[in-house]
Amino acid sequence: MPSTFPRLMLDHAAARPDDAALREKVYGIWQTLSWAALAVLVRELACGLAAAGLQRNAHLVVIGENRPRLYAAMLAAQALGAVPVPLYQDAASAEYMFPINNAEVAFAIAEDQEQLDKLLELRTRCPQLTRLWYDDARGLRHYSEPGLESLDTLIDSGRAFDKAHPGFFDTELAAGRPHDVAAMFFTSGTTGQPKGVVHTHFTLLDRARAGAAFDKLTNHEEVLAYLPPAWIGQNIFSYAQWLACGYVVNCPESAETVMIDLKEIGPTYYFAPPRVFEGLLTSVMIRMEDASRAKRCMFECAMALARRVGPALRDGQAVSALDRLKYRLGDIFVYGPLRNTLGFSRVRVAYTAGEAIGPDLFTFYRSIGINLKQLYGSTETAVFVCLQPDHEARADTVGVPIAGVEIKVEHGGEILVRSPGLLKGYYKNPEATAEVLTADGWYRTGDAGFIAAGGHLKIIDRARDVGVLIGGSHDGALFAPKYVENKLKFFPFIKEAVAFGDKRKMACAFINIDFEAVGNWAEKRNLPYAGYTDLAGRAPVLELVRQCVETVNADLAQDDKLAGSQIHRFLVLHKELDADDGELTRTRKVRRGAIADKYRLLVDALYGDASEQFVETAVTFEDGRSGTVSATLKIVDARTFAGVQRAA
Amino acid sequence: MNTRGIGDVILDVTNISLAFGGVKALTDISFDVREHELRAIIGPNGAGKSSMLNCINGVYTPQQGAISFRGRSFSHMNSRQVAEMGIARTFQNLALFKGMSVLDNIMTGRNLKMKSNLFQQAVHWGAAAREETEHREFVERIVDFLEIQAHRKTPVGRLPYGLQKRVDLGRALAMQPQVLLLDEPMAGMNVEEKQDMSRFILDVNDEYGTTIVLIEHDMGVVMDISDRIVVLDYGLKIGDGTPDEVRANPDVISAYLGTH
């Protein structure tokens, strides 16, 4: 039954008013907001926004972490038929200018001083941005900007407005239709200006419900909302599905406390991009390295067993009685406590998506008894396209199309999707919309892949990133940079990798070491270093990275399609790739083109004969100042392997 | 440089002299501190800065001179009385309880405000439990203010130095002081930690209206955040005024640069 988000919220409030809707940790204690209290809050906020002049179809920008009052504000805007536009809270001020001007935003809600300062900075360049509200008043006592008020003031004015116009809220709410625009999400965009992806209540709710049905989600789930609300995945998991199912969404205290809060809440339904799982595994491994010998032995024994039988148990395959018994013992002594430490004791369904996940990483979590699965989707498809069924999770596929989804693979390998959850279009950008939406309703994902055994979809790379090698020993061979980068990144020592090779005679790569993991490794070996740049240039570190690269090369050589993508030469970058320097997107994907332009000197050195290259790079520090980092980088040759011999 | 509305003199130090045997730590020092002011004491090593703070704090008793706080003059005062009057301090060499959690460390700052006796606290029932809840709430506001939520339950000894300094500040704040004495709050910190600490000091001054007396080595920080500065050298006061005045003072320049 199609509905709208605010109407679903009111249904929950009517059916079970005292149940928890949202929790937030305030001053160290989890505070619960019931559905009934939420309904009152939304009503007051909506009336306040209406009194301030928010019209149907107007846009309301919301910037901040996951906060109950910001969620309520989005519901309030939707109740009035206005469109909430969540923006990434870690973006720089200038990055907000395009969305705000593009969507003619006049009203914005910011979480705190940090976010508000960024908006105030834009006021001269976004003159239509007249009204601003903030949730957390700290540090804002002396702000006297025109049009600036606290959410408390907005709520008060809403209460007064509601009293003066008693039927207003209900009339506005009733006027909302499922096919009205519900929200707009700006895609981070690896190239060019961001695009506003327009979704209706129907598209988001249809996919939210399809996903919920696939995993049999109930209103008893607990979810921790810790990813940026501007990302559609976060919106689906802790907004659309929250309202569709009526479960509890928990807001952590701050970005630093997420791990502690995760443990306290013990979510049952969890989503994290692969890098979070990677970070968790790295921290476990570092802590195990520091553990006593006996504990390390126990851990290694148990993990060896888990690797052997864990995945089979997860997939519901036959395992011998002895192994079952051993696994149960392992569960008592190692896997259970480990799950608890990670905060995954109660996880029933965990998903990862956004980037390819390393097979060992994926297997690690499944083998210790966490039902980790992959899904496939994008902002434009309202996330859910393919999901992995509980017993069919694999590292190298992304699952089967779920209810309502049709998939076809085009000539060049590009995947096309048709589902009820497709975007309505890009905001004020019919050309871009026409590029991705065909006349007969198919959406071009831009991903290259194919349907593998069992109907599972397998993604190799972005369709436009798949290149060819020209000249050299692998002339004409396929070059899948992301595939190679992902393989490299699976080593805990390597944080990011950027592979080059399209239209060249061989593949080369930039490597970013993981400061924490390599730092710990260096300390264990009494290797002194004076910060990131110094550590990255140390000979033993280069040797360590070379071993990783060669392992990947040996692995790539096994697959004759990808043997040409072996890394011949590489260098370890002197600084961490950073979104603030335009090297990563806000979702931390490498911007290969931008990096190649910025470090042209280094790319040329990789393809030249030099054994080292001096480089100086401008960097933006977290406080907004800028400076430079310089270093002389060694260029290292890695061993490559002949492809597997095949009988002619 | 700010809009906080600096008030009247609340702490007045007049003609203080302090000697340890033949060593004259302080000679005839006089200066005053106004309400809501950020007052800095600077000087080269061994200039008598910490001794000055210790006199105000009641740790040392000066041989001569008087200190008056809110019109009440005292020359002999122990540190407990000073604390009860609303003067709190942090230490150059951290004096935290390393094995205790961040929360417990800050909670010790509430000790003077607790009314229940040892027995009630041991039983933790009735008034004592209620009281602890109230104090815990106050401590939580400080935790929030100093942004150390992620470390609430971590033993202080395991925290990096910069964070330990922040906990030290938190404990002093827990006393709800009227005057806060900070002894080199930024010593041994890196640039980022110094920036954080400067912001917290300014915020304390701004949000709580706390008067702050600060000893600091880092001239850049002092010049940026202080309203007025006292300069000591070999136990003598050689300068007193706004950052600009102090910067232009020839005695200060020679004491710092060693030129004549």
**Both tokens of residue B177?**
């002081």
3-state class of B66 per DSSP? Answer: strand
Q: What's the pLDDT score for residue B75? A: 67
> Which residue, among B149, B152, B166, B207, would best test binding to A if mutated, counting the most A CBs under 10 Å from its CB?
B149
> Mean pLDDT over residues A137-142, rounded?
86
Q: At what angle do helices A168-175 and A68-79 cross, to 10 degrees?
A: 80
At A646 the pLDDT is: 43
Q: At what angle do helices A293-314 and A359-367 cross, to 10 degrees?
A: 90
pLDDT at B81: 84
Task: Return the structure tokens found at B167.
Answer: 């906990």
CA distance A512 to A45: 46
Element (H, E) at A512: strand A507-513
Interchain CB distance below 8 Å, B137 and A141: no
Angle at A536 between CA A532 and CA A542, to 5 degrees: 160
What's the rounded Cα separation, in Å, for the pair A111 and A412? 45
Q: Look at residue A462 in the predicted model and tell me its pLDDT.
A: 81
Q: How far is it, in rounded angstroms, from Cα A607 to Cα A276?
A: 34
DSSP state of B156: G
Q: Is the dihedral of CA A230, A236, A240, A245 positive or negative?
A: negative
Task: Identify which of B150, B192, B206 has the shortest CB distance to residue A257.
Answer: B150
Task: Give the model confidence (pLDDT) of A256-277 as tens digits.
Answer: 899 899 999 999 999 998 888 9
Which residues in chain B are closer than 8 Å to A138, comparing Cβ atoms?
145, 207
Interface A:B, Cβ pairs < 8 A: 30
In B9-146, which ranges are continuous DSSP H helix?
49-57, 79-84, 102-108, 118-123, 127-145
* B chain contacts of residue A257, beta-carbon cutoff 8 Å: 149-150
B3 contacts in chain A (CB < 8 Å): 142
> What pLDDT shows up at residue A189?
61
Instruction: Assess B143–A contact: CB distance below 8 Å, yes or no.
Output: yes
Strand order in the sheet with A443-451: A406-409, A414-418, A443-451, A457-462
A139 chain-B contacts, CB cut-off 8 A: 203, 207
Give the tens place of pLDDT for each residue, A321-360: 999 999 999 999 999 999 999 999 999 999 998 777 878 8
* Mean pLDDT value across residues A39-49: 97
B23-34 and B9-20 as β-strands: parallel, antiparallel, unpaired?
antiparallel
Give how far A26 is from chain B: nearest CA, Å. 9
Q: Which of A29, A142, A622 has its CB closest to that of B3?
A: A142
Joined together, the tokens standing for residue A451 give 């349907």
Bridge partners for B212 per DSSP:
B38, B180
Helix (H) or strand (E) holding A263: helix A258-265
What is the widest separation between alpha-carbon atoms in chain A? 86
Q: Residue B44, SS3? A: coil
Domain ranges of chain A: 5-271, 467-637
Nearest-Cα distance to chain B for A518, in Å, is: 20
pLDDT at B258: 67
Residue A606: other Cβ atoms inside 10 A: 24
Write out pLDDT tens, residues A527-566. 999 989 999 999 999 999 999 999 999 988 876 667 888 9
State both tokens at A43: 């009503």
A 10 A CB-CB count for A198 gives 22
3-class DSSP state of B23: strand
B141 CB-contact burial (10 Å; exposed 0-12 / middle 13-18 / buried 19+): middle
Residue A2 has pLDDT above 90, yes or no: no
- Does the pLDDT of residue B99 top 60, yes or no? yes
| Per-residue pLDDT at A412 | 64
For chain A, give the mean pLDDT: 91
Rounded Cα–Cα distance for residues A37 and A58 (Å)? 26
Give the CA diameter of chain B.
68
In this predicted structure, the answer to whether residue B23 has a pLDDT above a threshold of 90 is no
Tokens, residue A627? 């400076």
Q: Number of C-alpha atoms within 13 angstroms, CB side, residue A542?
A: 19
Pick from A29, A142, A256: CB nearest B150: A256
Q: Note whether A256 contacts B143, CB cutoff 8 Å.
A: no
What sign does the CA torsion over A223, A224, A229, A232 have? negative
pLDDT-derived band at A100, boundaries 50, 70, 90? very high
| pLDDT higher than 80, residue B228 | yes
How confident is residue B79, by pLDDT bands cut at 50, 70 and 90?
A: confident
pLDDT of residue A491: 86
pLDDT at B219: 82
Per 3-state DSSP, chain A is made up of helix, strand and coil in percentages (nearest 5) of: 40, 20, 35
- What residues of chain A lie within 8 A of the CB of B192, using their CB? 622-623
Q: Domains in chain B, start-ordered, CATH in brackets?
A: 1-86+177-260 (3.40.50.300), 96-175 (no CATH)
Contact B102, B153 (CB under 8 A): yes
| Contacts with A142 from chain B: Cβ below 8 Å | 3
- pLDDT tens sequence across A419-460: 999 999 999 999 999 999 999 999 999 988 778 778 899 887
Strand-pair partners of A509: A499, A570
**Measured distance CA(B18)–CA(B56) in Å, rounded:** 12
Amino acid identity, position A586: R
Spatial neighbors of A639 by CB under 8 A, at least 6 apart, are: A550, A553
Q: Tell me whether residue A380 is exposed, middle or buried, using C-beta atoms within 10 angstroms of its C-beta: 0 to 12, 13 to 18, 19 or more.
A: buried
Mean pLDDT, residues A86-90 taken together: 94
Name the residue with tokens 């931008």.
A594
Determine the residue of chain B that is closest to A141 in CA distance: B207
CB contact under 8 A, A254 and B150: yes
Q: What is the fold of A5-271?
A: Rossmann fold (3.40.50)
Task: Place B142 in a pLDDT band, splitting at 50, 70 and 90.
Answer: very high
Rg (CA), chain B: 19
| DSSP code for B205 | I
Closest CA to A242 of A273, A276, A204, A274: A204
Hey, are the CB atoms on B203 and A256 less than 8 Å from each other?
Answer: no
Substitution target from A260, A287, A622 for chain B, most B beta carbons within 10 A: A260
- The answer, yes or no, to whether residue B247 has pLDDT greater than 50, is yes
> Using CA atoms, how far apart are residues A55 and A82, in angstroms rounded to an integer?
6
Rounded Cα distance between A334 and A294, Å, is: 13
Bridge partner residues of B87 (DSSP): B179
C-alpha angle A12-A16-A20 in degrees, rounded to nearest 5: 85
Q: Which segment, A50-54, A186-190, A486-490, A590-594, is predicted with the most confidence on average?
A: A50-54
Q: Which residue has the higher pLDDT, B95 or A522?
A: A522
**E strands along A202-359, which residues?**
222-224, 248-251, 269-271, 349-352
Interface of A with B (CB under 8 A): 27-29, 138-139, 141-142, 253-254, 256-257, 260, 622-623
Chain A within 8 Å of B144 (Cβ-Cβ)?
A: yes
pLDDT of residue A644: 58
What is residue B1's predicted lDDT score, i.e. its pLDDT? 43
Q: What is the pLDDT of residues A201-227, one digit of tens each?
A: 999 999 999 999 999 999 999 999 999
Beta pairing partners, A86: A62
Are B152 and A28 inside 8 Å of each other by CB?
A: yes
Per-residue pLDDT of A404-424, as tens digits, reads 999 998 876 789 999 999 999
Q: Which residues on B lie below 8 Å from A140 (Cβ)?
A: none
What backbone phi and psi angles, to 5 degrees, belong to A409?
-110, 125
CATH 3.40.250.10 fits A467-637, yes or no: no
- Average pLDDT of the residues in B156-183: 92
How far are the Cα atoms of A64, A110, A123, A178, A313 from residue A113, in angstroms, in the given order? 10, 8, 15, 35, 50
By DSSP bridging, strand A59-63 and strand A83-87 are parallel
Contact (Cβ atoms closer than 8 angstroms) between residue B46 and residue B24: no
What ipTM goes with this model? 0.80
